[in-house]
Every structure is written in C-alpha cells, then in structure tokens.
Amino acid sequence: MTETQNSPAVQTKGRQNRSTARKRNIVVRLRHLPVFSLIILAAVIFVGVFGPYFAPHDPVESNLMDAYTPPFESREYILGTDHMGRDVLSRIMGGARISLIVGLTVVFIAGAIGTLFALVSGFFGGWWDTLIMRLTDTFLSLPYLMVAIVMAAVLGANVRNIIIVLCVIGWAGYARVLRSEVLQLKEADFVRLAVTAGCSRTKIMFKHIFPNIINTLVVLATLQLGVTIIAEASLSFLGMGVPPPNPSWGLMLAQGRDYITYAWWLCVWPGVAIMLTVLACNLLGDWLRVRLDPKFRQI
Amino acid sequence: MQKYILKRIVQAIICLILVSIIVFMLSRLSGDPLTLMMPPEATEEDWDLMRRQLGLDQPIYNQYWKFISGAVQGDFGQSIRWEKECLAVFLDYFPNTLLLGAAAMAFSLIIGIPFGILSAYKVGKWYDNFAKLFALMGQSFPVFWVGIMLILIFAVQLGVLPTSGMGGVQHLIMPAFTLGWYFAAAQTRLTRSAMLDVLDREYIKMARIKGVPEWSVILKHAFKNAMLPVVTMAALNFVVLLNGTVITETIFAWPGVGRLVVQAIFSRDYPVVQTCVFIASGLFIFTNLLVDVLYAYLDPRIRFQ
C-alpha cells in the first residue's frame, strides 16, 4: 500500500530533506564568500577596537636601549623596534585604530553628503541639478592630494581636521555615481505610482528611491574605504596627517624612510599592513559589486 | 553638435570660476592668511607692509577680482620664497613633471593595454587571472610604499639605480614605475572590459566566419573599436597622473610641481600654492572638455543625450 503524502514517515523524510538542503545551501553560500578579505577586515577591526588591551607594548613609549632591534630576533619585539625603541607591532596595531577611525568616519559622512546631494539633484532636477552637478564637477577637478595637504597645513594636522579635509574632497565621487542611479529610478513605474498616489517628494526620495540605491552605495563605500585609508596614510606620510608620536601607518613609513639602509623593517611592515587592508577592501567591494548587480560581472 | 560644444564650454567656464573661488578661499580658511605666511619674529611694520603688498587690506571681493583678473592674464602674483613671478616658478618645475608623467603614462600604456587585450581574449585562462591579479595589486599598493620598496631593492640592496634626484634615464626608471603602476592596473581593467564588450559583437563573429586571421580579428577589428574609451580615459588619466605626482616627487626628490607644492606649503608661500592648484585644476577641466567634445565627435550617441 502506498504511503499518503501526509503520513508521518514522509513528513519526517521531507523535514530531513529540507534541513539537509538548507545546510547544503548555507555551505554553498559560505564557499562563495570572499573569505580572504573578510578574515583580513575582521582582523583589522578586531585589532582596531581591542588592540590597546592586548598590544605587547605601549606604541608611544620609547626605549632607546632597544632601538633598531631587527624582527624575529627577539621574543619581546616580534616585528622589531624603530629608531626610538618603540615596538613596531604595537605601533601597527595603534595605526590600525587610527586608519579605521578616519576611514569609517569619512566614508560615512562623505557618503551621507554625497547621497543627499545625489537624491536632491537627481530627483528635483532643474536648477538644483545644474547647481549640484557644477559643484560636483568642480570638486572632482581639484587635484585632491594637493588640496588636502594645503587644507591640512592651513587648518592644522590632527585627526579631526584630516576627517574634515577628506570629507570635503570625497563627497563628489558618491554624488556623481548615485545621481545617475537616481535619474534611472525616477522613471520607474513604482515612483510614478507613488507620485500619482500623492506621496510627498521627501517621502518618495527617502522611502522609495533611497532603498534602491543602497546596493551601489554599499559597493562604493567599500571601495572608498580603501581609497580613504591610503589618503590618510599619504597625508601622514607627507607630515600633514596624524602628528607624531601617535602611531599612523603613513607616519611610520615616513619616519622609517630615513633609516632604510640599516632598518628595512621600519618601511616594510606598515606598508604590508596598508596593502593587506586595502586589498581586502577592494576584493570585498568587487565581490559585492558582482553579487549585488549582475550587470558588472564582466569588469 | 555646436549646441553641445557650446553647452560644454559654458559648463567648463562655470567650473573654472568655482575652482578659482575655492583656490582663493584655501589660504583664507583659518582667517587671516598672513598668520600662515609671516615668520614669528616679524614686527608690526612688517605685517602692515606685507598686508599692503599682497593687497590683503582691501575688501575680499576686491582681492578676489584682483586674483581672477590677474590669473586670466597669467599674473598670479609674486612668490615670497623664490622672489619671482609665481607663474615663472611654476614653469621652471612643470617640464620635469611633464617628463615624469609622460614616462609613467608610456609605462602604463605599454603594460596595461597588451595585458588587457590578452586577458579579454583568453578569459578564464591563467593570463586572465594574472592580469586580474595585477590590476587588483596595482590598485591596492599605496604609491609611497611601492616607491620605498623599489628604493630598498634596487638602490639599497642591489645598488643598480640611484635613490633620488634627476639626471639620466636611470633616474627616471623608478619614479616612472612608481607613478605609472596604479594607472597600468587601471588601464588593464579598462582595456579588458572594453575588449570584452567588443568581442561579443556580430561583426567580430562575421570576421571569424570569413576566415580573417585571429591576430587581425583581435588587433584590427576588435581593438580599433575598443580603443575609443581606452584612449579617452588615457587622456584624462594623464592629467590625473600629473596632478598626483606629489608623493612620487617627494620620495625621489624629483624637482617637479608636486614637490614644489610641498616645499611652498612648508615655506608658507601661498601665492605659489594657489598658482599650482589653480593651473592643475584648469588643466583637468580643459582636458575633460576636449575629451568630451572628441568623444561626441567620434560617437554620435553621446551628442543626443
């Protein structure tokens, strides 16, 4: 006699099949995650947040007796020490914190400003669009590093001013890209229906259009995080960023340059840290771009 | 077509005016620009003299009008440190930046375009993966670290190239590589995507069916059509490259505009800084305009947007 569909044996087998299928689904999805970039970024975030609690030494405290210790020769200073006897590993961990603070703050603020301008410019059109687009083109045509170092020199070199400088220069990229998305969405049926239904323009912008541009915004923000970290390191390298003795990857490279002939590790480790972080951001951004929008799979 | 060109020219002029306002305001961000320029030991008379000399006692709109009317005629004021015309100081350093920029651009095109073509032709093979890895590395390695590593390897350890300065061809190799590295990666990516777009077209399939040799299909038929976005981006990238020489010139002590800006900032010579930033932005706006007009001339779809 054949079992009916709702018999307990079939139901149990069905539940097992569903649970196995769900587990297989999760494993398949996990295999497609960008494991390398997630591990690196998780490590950087963990070190940035909890670094001060488990760094082997104080990144700012100098100990001239132990200056120029090469890496891997002393158990106390795994990555060596610099010209002031400061532990390179502890300074790299401190630098991660500064890079993260600057990077995430700038991406958030510049992204918010750029998104707002893109929404207003794309949705309202007319004079708003002309004005905002001319402003965007102007900021995009400025030589960003030159302007950044001038502003940093004028305002003074500290973390708050670097964030201000990088936000002022960085918002235009977001505005330009997101505006074209907003222009496309403006013509979509659901937006026209919302207008017909009598929705206020602000409500359409933030409730209907904004959720649809979040995908592009997330991809852009991830890629811009890497760019911002390099920008902060460049400013610190030129002496316009985080002031000494605070640890910053760019500042460590600038200081290490003077001792390159006999202390090669002072230039190598901070650069590796920057490179791995930015590589992880770029890989994650590329993965997100493909995952969130199949149009870009070829690039 | 004329309407489009006129519209783009008007937009470029508006951008240039806005850039001039931003550049003018840069040194006035913290209030009185004289506080940035005067040494600590200056007396009250020195301050008054400097203020009159630089026209800072005038109302701000008079100062701006003086700046913009002078800029249009090529008069950016007098340099405080070099004691000659700012434009003359800029023109002393600009040819060196042009040389470095041209070398870096040549390197990025010579590496980037063939990599991009090969990668698009053999999608999925090891050349493609290698080119994609190269493109990723190029965009992840910070410029200053590449420069320092090159100095460490070739100048300090191997001793085959000089560490810094400007002289013969051997002085140009490392700075050009450092500056061009990022753009080589960007060029690879762009060429690859442009070629992939073109290789799918009907006329490429037709050429293959006709029996045209494969090298001819790739280079004569596909690349010629893919070249349009590649060349226009290369022109824009050249100006971006010129504006981005600050770090490379600082590392290699190359006497160019980037290093001039850093030296001028540290010497508090803001007229020279203003000149450099204004001319750099002007170059970018002008090249952007030229590229857009050229693109519209070559691709009629753009004109009717």
Question: pLDDT tens digit string along A196-244?
Answer: 888 888 888 888 889 888 988 998 999 899 999 999 999 999 888 888 8
Could you give the C-alpha distances from B240 to A297, B282, B286, in angstroms and in order? Answer: 27, 12, 12
A194 torsion bin: left (phi>0), alpha (psi -120 to 50), beta (else): alpha
Q: What is the pLDDT of residues A83-105, one digit of tens each?
A: 888 888 999 999 999 999 999 99
Look up residue B100 and give its two tokens: 């470095």
Closest residue in A to B261 (Cα) is A146
Which region among A15-29, A78-92, A253-267 has the lowest average model confidence (pLDDT)?
Answer: A15-29
* A57 located within any domain: no
A230 touches chain B (CB under 8 A): yes
Residues of B in contact with A275 (CB under 8 A): 140-142, 145
Q: Cβ A274–B142 below 8 Å, yes or no?
A: yes
* A10 located within any domain: no
How far off is chain A from B63, nearest CA to CA, in Å?
Answer: 19
Residues of A in contact with B284 (CB under 8 A): 141, 143
Residues 6+ apart with CB under 8 A from B230: B113, B116, B187, B190, B191, B194
| Rounded Cα–Cα distance for residues A167 and A111 (Å) | 9
Q: What three-state secondary structure class fits A34?
A: coil
What is the pLDDT at residue B106? 92
- Count of domains observed in chain A: 1
Q: Cβ B144–A154 below 8 Å, yes or no?
A: no
Tell which of A133, A135, A138 to mutate to test the B interface (max B CBs under 10 Å): A138
Summarize the confidence of residues A115-142 as an average pLDDT: 91
Residues of A in contact with B140 (CB under 8 A): 226, 275, 278-279, 282
pLDDT higher than 80, residue A149 = yes
Residue numbers of the domain that contains A213: 73-296
Q: Cβ A264–B152 below 8 Å, yes or no?
A: yes
Look up residue B142 and give its two tokens: 């910070």
* A229 located within any domain: yes
Burial of B173 from C-beta contacts in 10 A (0-12 / 13-18 / 19+) = middle
pLDDT higher than 80, residue A21 = no
pLDDT higher than 60, residue A286 = yes
Could you give the C-alpha distances from A48 to A76, A222, A277, in angstroms and in order? Answer: 21, 17, 12
ipTM of the complex: 0.85
* A127 located within any domain: yes
Q: Which of A104, A130, A121, A105 is CA-nearest to residue A45? A: A104
Chain A, 146 to 175: residues with Cβ < 8 Å from chain B are 146-147, 149-151, 153-156
* A80 located within any domain: yes
* A29 located within any domain: no
Look up residue B49 and give its two tokens: 């003299």
* A191 located within any domain: yes
The shortest CB-CB distance from A146 to any of B141, B192, B261 is to B261
DSSP letters spanning chain B: -HHHHHHHHHHHHHHHHHHHHHHHHHTTTTS-THHHHS-TT--HHHHHHHHHHTTTTS-HHHHHHHHHHHHHTT---B-TTT-SBHHHHHHHHHHHHHHHHHHHHHHHHHHHHHHHHHHHHTTTSHHHHHHHHHHHHHHHS-HHHHHHHHIIIIIIIS--S-SSS--SHHHHHHHHHHHHHHHHHHHHHHHHHHHHHHHTSHHHHHHHHHT--HHHIIIIIIIHHHHHHHHHHHHHHHHHHHHT-HHHHHHHT--SHHHHHHHHHHTT-HHHHHHHHHHHHHHHHHHHHHHHHHHHHH-HHHHT-
Q: What is the CATH number of the domain that holds A187?
A: 1.10.3720.10
Counted across chains A and B, CB pairs separated by less than 8 A come out at 131
Which residues of chain B fall below pLDDT 70?
Answer: 30-31, 36, 299-305
The neighbouring-strand residues paired with A81 are: A87
The shortest CB-CB distance from B277 to any of A143, A233, A283 is to A143
| Rounded Cα–Cα distance for residues A84 and A63 (Å) | 6
Residues 6+ apart with CB under 8 A from B184: B107, B108, B111, B112, B115, B134, B138
Tell which of B7, B9, B11, B15 to mutate to test the A interface (max A CBs under 10 Å): B15
Residues of A in contact with B196 (CB under 8 A): 298
* A267 located within any domain: yes
The shortest CB-CB distance from A257 to any of B18, B148, B281 is to B148
Summarize the confidence of residues A23-33 as an average pLDDT: 67
Mean pLDDT of chain A: 85
Question: pTM of the prediction?
Answer: 0.86
Q: Cβ A275–B141 below 8 Å, yes or no?
A: yes
Mean pLDDT highest for which of A26-35, A117-126, B61-70? A117-126
pLDDT higher than 70, residue A14 = no
Q: Cβ B148–A153 below 8 Å, yes or no?
A: no
Q: Cβ B142–A137 below 8 Å, yes or no?
A: no
| Rounded Cα–Cα distance for residues B182 and B87 (Å) | 30
> For residue A40, what pLDDT band results from cuts at 50, 70 and 90?
very high
